[in-house]
Homo-oligomer: A and B are copies of this chain.
Amino acid sequence: MASEPGDNGPDFSRNNGLLPAIAQDAQSGKVLMMAWMNQEAYEETIRTGQAVYFSRSRNKLWYKGEESGHVQTVVQILVDCDRDTILMKVNQQGAACHEGYESCFFREVAPDGLTTIEARLVDPDDIYNK
């Protein structure tokens, strides 16, 4: 997992230093979520081997699963052609979504509105109101 974030990794000089990071289940290929990483979040991800994002709403590092226990163990990190988007293959503990779904993409845009296409894995109240 060790790597240098310089010229050989994501380019944090782009997009105001905040890059989209996609988490994909390493086994099923399901896209679990998209969040943001600054350079510090990326380096913490490398250091810990678990996904660390930058929370724009809380304006600080977000150690994914720090509250819920639903951590993402990073198996592989890919960058796109412009090196300004990150794709992580992860092993997801529990549910990626704070609403208790395996994936944050649990709703399909259907002609008559949003349709939920996943069953909840866990009750959000059980995750955060312990």
Contact = CB atoms under 8 A, between A and B. Distances in A.
Given A80-B105, A87-B105, A105-B79, A22 B34 contact: yes
A106 B81 contact: yes
A30 B31 contact: no
15 contacts: A2-B111, A3-B110, A3-B111, A4-B113, A8-B112, A8-B113, A9-B109, A22-B22, A24-B31, A77-B108, A78-B105, A78-B109, A79-B105, A80-B105, A81-B98
Given A29-B30, A78-B105, A81-B104, 19 more contacts: A1-B111, A3-B110, A3-B111, A8-B109, A8-B113, A10-B109, A22-B34, A29-B29, A31-B31, A31-B87, A33-B80, A34-B85, A76-B108, A77-B108, A78-B109, A79-B114, A81-B106, A85-B104, A85-B105
